[in-house]
Amino acid sequence: MVDTQTQNKAPWWKRKDVKETATLWVILSVLIGGVAGEVISRSLGAPASETMANTIRMMKIFTWVAAPVAGLVGAIGLKSLMQKRHTGDTPPAESDHQIANSPKAAAVWIVISGLLCLFALVFGMIVMQEDAKSLQAANAIHINVTGQQWLWNFDYPDNAGVRSHDLYLPVDRPVIFDVSAKDVKHSFWIVQMGVKVDANPGYITQTAVTPNKIGVFDVRCAELCGLLHAYMQSQVHVVSQADYDAWIKSQGGRA
Amino acid sequence: MTTTMDKTASAGHSTKRPLIEKLNVFTAFGLGIILAVVCYVLAVKFIPEDTDSMLIHTKHDQVVLLAMIGWFVGFMVGIGALIGPFRWLLGKDLTHDENMFYAGKDLGVKRYFRYTTDHKVVGIQYLVITMVIFGVGGILAMLIRTNLGNPEGGWIHPQAYNAIVGIHGIIMIVGTIIMITGPFGNFVMPIMIGARDMAFPRLNALSFWLIVAAIPPILSSFFLGGIMTGWTAYEPLASESPAGMDGYIMFICIFALSTMVAGANITATVVRMRARGMTWNRTPIFIYGVVASVALALPAFPVFFLSQIMSAFDRAMGTTFYNPAGGGSGWLYENLFWLMGHPEVYVILIPAIAALMEMAPVFTRRPLFSFNVAVMGIAGICGLSALVWAHHMYMSGWAPLLNGPFMLTTELISIPTGMLFFVLVGTLWRGRLWLTVPMASIYALLWNFMIGGITGIYLSDVPADGTLHGTMFVTAHFHYTLMGAGLTGAIASISYWFPKMTGRMLDRRLSWVSFWMVQIGFNVAFTGMFLVGLAGQPRRVETYNAMFNQGNMITTGGAYVIMAGMLVLLFAVIDSWRNGIKASDNPWFAKTLEWSVPTPVPLENFATLPVVTTDAYGYGKAKS
């Protein structure tokens, strides 16, 4: 990254402008990581499942890992801007040096970006595996989700005949959603639980989650599905197992 | 014009002008409209009525598509695109005089309204049509943002709103695809490589007039019920859409033809027609950007073309490529669409970054840092971008097992992208910065593309995409890359090459005012959009929960600032074009070949073709 100049006796890392850039780099990295991480976790809101908590944690870590890269580009850019500026209709004098490349710097840059890439990939894979646990759980309840223009139908196959437009789930129990659609593509999304899968006419797709918080959360359609797409919303009521059984019974199912 | 008339008169052809001299944009529009009406009337009369026993009703779509094909054929005949091929059919070719007429010799302003083959005329034509497209797309964007100004919004009917969102999307995508390779790839590129014109000048004119022919179908879609699918036109929703969808299909097919023609032409030109001595090591980086962009479009757009032909068959012939009831699949469409859709974003981005890399040495007065790394970066992006398309389909349920591999390819693309950052900051480092709009644009690119790039890493990650897919976060992300990075490069290119294209300088004060308004407005608008996206506002909605009020207000406010900034730029361009300060032949003291020819650039550019002995980046004092 940093060019050595033949007339400079001192090694490059002792040069004044390099030191100042390094200081700027540290400051910018901390600033970017801190601000962006905070904005992201605040905007995403409180998680209602382990899946969503994982996502928030991962996005914060990615932010902190990316911050030094952004900080370095920012530091070099700012330092260059502070050093030698020129305005006017004619160009400034030619720059002091004409170093046109630095294979060493390029190699370091490429190796480091490769490592960062590998980190993002491995980390993502591990979290993917963790999120998939709900899909393999033996005690999971199944729910059939059917999207149609412009509402959601939830069927509870363990209790044939029970159908609702608001979703009811017991807390702390894995749920597997078998998702399909009647007419066009929709996308089934539980906002605070961080799960999403498209609802395709003629096919069944799956996603799974374990809600870990009692409360009311949002289901929104995340795929443009025509005229009233914006209004295709409903709610998830996550309740205790006892309340869930009572609700199923009130709908005519067996508890 | 007068000279041509004199010549024909003196040659004894009396006052009767040959056909070739009569055709222009007016005859094209006239013949296009006439043929469209004829096709419409004939189709209504002779196509059998739909019966109730038919599975889907097709007559309406057949009529609309035939009328549009009539328009297309009429327009191309009327502009004179078929004269050359017709001569060949007769076993002849155009005479030298006719070729010079086609090149626009001595035609003055009139050559801009004809099937002119001079690459400089085509470049100016592209510049104007790009600005028209951005104007239309921008008005639609302002309608969207105004409608979203408050949560009740709703003064636009949802059907019209969906049409506006979709047409804003597709028309802006087309505008950004042509915004660098069109105006500057045509005007500047041949001079930069030391050529007299493109390899296939008539194909060059064809690629431009195809775009003009494509625009009326997409605009007519507003009057045919609009499209309700967004720019992606996902099936089976597209099959449900009113006849406006046929306008979209026709638009894409004609535009894809234009891209294929331009891609073949530009690639052939760069490979075959560089000046003597311009080895690949001495070829300017902008040329790499342009050729990478069109070469990437070459495999991508035939796929898009095909996907729309199949859509048209589904609508008009009752086939079921995408209809699950008949054994088709919407996932087929998604795959075809994104096979084009992801390379396409790099078709937009690469030339914009390459243009700024071309300007970086000029405005820092030092060599481009690591030319080889820049070329590797561009090549790496090109190679990888063909392998990442299904990251748009992580949540589609098409192939969950492929999410891992596509996550790998997508994240790998950050390595060549990082190389481009490396080249840019390496060039800035210890340069003498000449503070001009192009220089500031390099900083704007670094800032915007950094944000666009890092948010792209979240989206490439499958678990995070489970939250972010289909939200405003995605919308903000791709506006940061395509507009924040891409359009910034295009605006910088206008101020940089304006003196060569028009002979005048772009007004300095106005272009600075516009630069700051657009950049600040842009960052305000799309930061707000990131926030509501993270909080869970889906894309393409015409109303939203009250919790998203604040973020949407911020975005709408920012959007108005962008609009004002763009109007300032438009005024600056028009005003400076007409009465700006006269520019010298090389106002930036740059070393690429386009600055070595006089302004205005004469027909065929060079009196004697140049011989190149070094690269174009020999700035900086020699080592002592």
B281 part of contact set with chain A, CB < 8 Å: no
Of B428, B435, B622, the CB nearest to A76: B428
Residue A5 inside a domain? The answer is: no
Instruction: Identify the closest residue of chain A to B241 by CA–CA distance.
Output: A226
Of B404, B460, B538, the CB nearest to A222: B538
The per-residue pLDDT for range B124-183, each reduced to its tens digit, is 999 999 999 999 999 999 999 999 988 776 788 989 999 999 999 999 999 999 999 999
- Nearest-angstrom CA–CA distance, B505 and B508: 8
Q: What percent of chain B has pLDDT over 70?
A: 97
Residue A51 inside a domain? The answer is: yes
B515 part of contact set with chain A, CB < 8 Å: no
pLDDT of amino acid A54: 94
- Nearest-angstrom CA–CA distance, B560 and A40: 26
- Nearest-angstrom CA–CA distance, A236 and A190: 8
Whether residues A200 and A220 share a domain: the answer is yes
- Nearest-angstrom CA–CA distance, B341 and B334: 10
Whether residues A40 and A126 share a domain: the answer is yes
Residue A17 inside a domain? The answer is: yes
- 3-state DSSP of B519-569: HHHHHHHHHHHHHHHHHCCECCCCCCCHHHHHHHHHHHHHHHHHHHHHHHH
pLDDT band for position B618 (cuts 50, 70, 90): confident
Instruction: Count structural domains, chain A.
Output: 2
- Map residue B611 onto helix, strand or coil: strand
Of A87, A105, A106, the CB nearest to B435: A87
- Map residue B52 onto helix, strand or coil: coil
pLDDT of amino acid A255: 56
Q: Which pTM does this prediction carry?
A: 0.93
Averaged pLDDT for residues B248-264: 96
A4 part of contact set with chain B, CB < 8 Å: no
A11 part of contact set with chain B, CB < 8 Å: no
pLDDT of amino acid A9: 62
Residue A93 inside a domain? The answer is: no
- Nearest-angstrom CA–CA distance, B455 and B526: 12
Question: Hey, are the CB atoms on A227 and B228 less than 8 Å from each other?
Answer: yes
Interface probe for A, chosen from B395, B421, B509 (most Cβ of A below 10 Å), is B395
Give how far B365 is from chain A: nearest CA, Å: 5
Look up residue A173 and give its two tokens. 């129990």
Averaged pLDDT for residues B578-584: 93
Give how far B184 is from chain A: nearest CA, Å: 23
- Nearest-angstrom CA–CA distance, B199 and A94: 37
Look up residue A36 and give its two tokens. 């962006």
Residues in chain A with pLDDT < 50? 1-2, 4-6
Q: Which of A135-149, B35-49, B610-624 has the lowest mean pLDDT?
A: B610-624
Whether residues A150 and A241 share a domain: the answer is yes
The per-residue pLDDT for range B190-223, each reduced to its tens digit, is 999 999 999 999 999 999 999 999 999 999 999 9
pLDDT of amino acid B15: 64
- Nearest-angstrom CA–CA distance, A59 and A37: 8
pLDDT of amino acid B430: 85
Whether residues A173 and A190 share a domain: the answer is yes
Distance of CA B55 to the CA centre of its chain: 38
R_g of chain B, CA atoms, integer Å: 25
Q: Residues 213..242 of A with a Cβ closer than 8 Å to B: which?
A: 218, 220-231
- Nearest CA-CA partner of A56 in A32, A39, A31: A39
A9 part of contact set with chain B, CB < 8 Å: no
Better pLDDT: B51 or B579: B579
pLDDT of amino acid B42: 95
- Nearest-angstrom CA–CA distance, B583 and B585: 7
Q: Is B352 a residue whose pLDDT tops 60?
A: yes
Whether residues A40 and A116 share a domain: the answer is yes
pLDDT of amino acid B48: 86
Write the CB contacts of A94 (distance below 8 Å, at least 6 apart in sequence): B365, B366, B432, B619, B620, B621
Whether residues A127 and A16 share a domain: the answer is yes
Q: Residues 131..150 of A with a Cβ closer than 8 Å to B: which?
A: 131
Q: What is the CATH number of the domain that holds A185?
A: 2.60.40.420
- Nearest-angstrom CA–CA distance, B309 and B249: 7
Residue A96 inside a domain? The answer is: no
Look up residue B186 and give its two tokens. 């045509």
Whether residues A124 and A223 share a domain: the answer is no
Q: Which of A239-248, B89-98, B413-422 has the lowest mean pLDDT?
A: B89-98
Write the CB contacts of B85 (distance below 8 Å, at least 6 apart in sequence): none
Question: Hey, are the CB atoms on A224 and B329 less than 8 Å from each other?
Answer: no
pLDDT of amino acid B160: 92
- Nearest CA-CA partner of B148 in B133, B164, B134: B164
Of A98, A110, A192, the CB nearest to B415: A110
Residue A173: which domain range? 139-250
Residue A25 one-letter amino acid = W
- Nearest-angstrom CA–CA distance, B264 and B295: 8
A1 part of contact set with chain B, CB < 8 Å: yes
pLDDT of amino acid A215: 95
Question: Hey, are the CB atoms on A221 and B538 less than 8 Å from each other?
Answer: yes
Decide if B526 contacts B482 (C-beta within 8 A): no
Averaged pLDDT for residues B571-575: 96
- Nearest-angstrom CA–CA distance, A250 and A159: 12
- Give chain B's domains with CATH numbers: 116-594 (1.20.210.10)
- Nearest-angstrom CA–CA distance, B322 and B333: 7
pLDDT of amino acid B106: 79
Residue A211 DSSP one-character state: B
Question: Hey, are the CB atoms on A223 and B432 less than 8 Å from each other?
Answer: no
Of A54, A55, A84, the CB nearest to B433: A84
- Nearest CA-CA partner of A175 in A158, A150, A200: A158
- Cα–Cα distances in angstroms (integers) from residue B387 to residues A124, B305, B335, B338, B418, in the given order: 19, 19, 12, 10, 18
Of B240, B370, B621, the CB nearest to A106: B370
Look up residue A109 and give its two tokens. 């840059």
Residue A95 inside a domain? The answer is: no
Decide if A154 contacts A235 (C-beta within 8 A): no
pLDDT band for position B101 (cuts 50, 70, 90): confident
Residue B190 one-letter amino acid = P
Residue A111 inside a domain? The answer is: yes
Better pLDDT: B423 or B2: B423
Look up residue B425 and give its two tokens. 């900051």
Could you give the residue ranges of the DSSP H alpha helices within B365-471? 371-385, 403-412, 414-428, 437-460, 462-468
Q: Is B103 a residue whose pLDDT tops 90?
A: no
- Nearest-angstrom CA–CA distance, B543 and A228: 10
- Map residue A176 onto helix, strand or coil: strand
- Nearest-angstrom CA–CA distance, B227 and B435: 45
- Nearest-angstrom CA–CA distance, B543 and B149: 10
Other Cβ atoms within 10 Å of A9 Cβ, number: 7
pLDDT of amino acid A252: 82
Whether residues A126 and A144 share a domain: the answer is no
Question: Hey, are the CB atoms on B422 and A69 less than 8 Å from each other?
Answer: no
Whether residues A73 and A154 share a domain: the answer is no
- Nearest-angstrom CA–CA distance, A179 and A160: 17
Whether residues A67 and A20 share a domain: the answer is yes
Could you give the residue ranges of the DSSP H alpha helices within B317-413? 330-364, 371-385, 403-412
Give how far A160 is from chain B: nearest CA, Å: 26
Residue B434 parent element (H or E)? strand B433-434
The torsion angles phi and psi of A207, rounded to 5 degrees, stand at -150, 165
Whether residues A116 and A165 share a domain: the answer is no
Decide if B57 contacts B318 (C-beta within 8 A): no
Question: Hey, are the CB atoms on B433 and A85 less than 8 Å from each other?
Answer: yes
Upper half-sphere CA count for residue B544 (Cβ side, 13 Å): 25
Instruction: Identify the closest residue of chain A to B474 by CA–CA distance.
Output: A222
pLDDT of amino acid B5: 43
- Nearest CA-CA partner of B607 in B599, B616, B597: B597
- Map residue A178 onto helix, strand or coil: strand
Residue A2 inside a domain? The answer is: no
Of A59, A100, A184, the CB nearest to B237: A184
- Cα–Cα distances in angstroms (integers) from residue B400 to residues A184, A206, B132, B431, in the given order: 20, 9, 42, 49
Of A6, A51, A91, the CB nearest to B623: A6
The per-residue pLDDT for range B333-351, each reduced to its tens digit, is 999 999 999 999 999 999 9
Look up residue B610 and give its two tokens. 């140049």
Q: Which of A79-88, B7-16, B381-390 has the lowest mean pLDDT?
A: B7-16
E strand spans, chain A: 85-86, 141-148, 151-155, 163-164, 167-170, 175-181, 186-190, 195-199, 205-209, 215-221, 233-239
Interface probe for B, chosen from A32, A63, A112, A113 (most Cβ of B below 10 Å), is A113
- Nearest-angstrom CA–CA distance, B408 and B462: 10
Whether residues A118 and A192 share a domain: the answer is no
Better pLDDT: B497 or B104: B497
Residue A18 parent element (H or E)? helix A16-44
Q: Is B446 a residue whose pLDDT tops 90?
A: yes
- Map residue A170 onto helix, strand or coil: strand
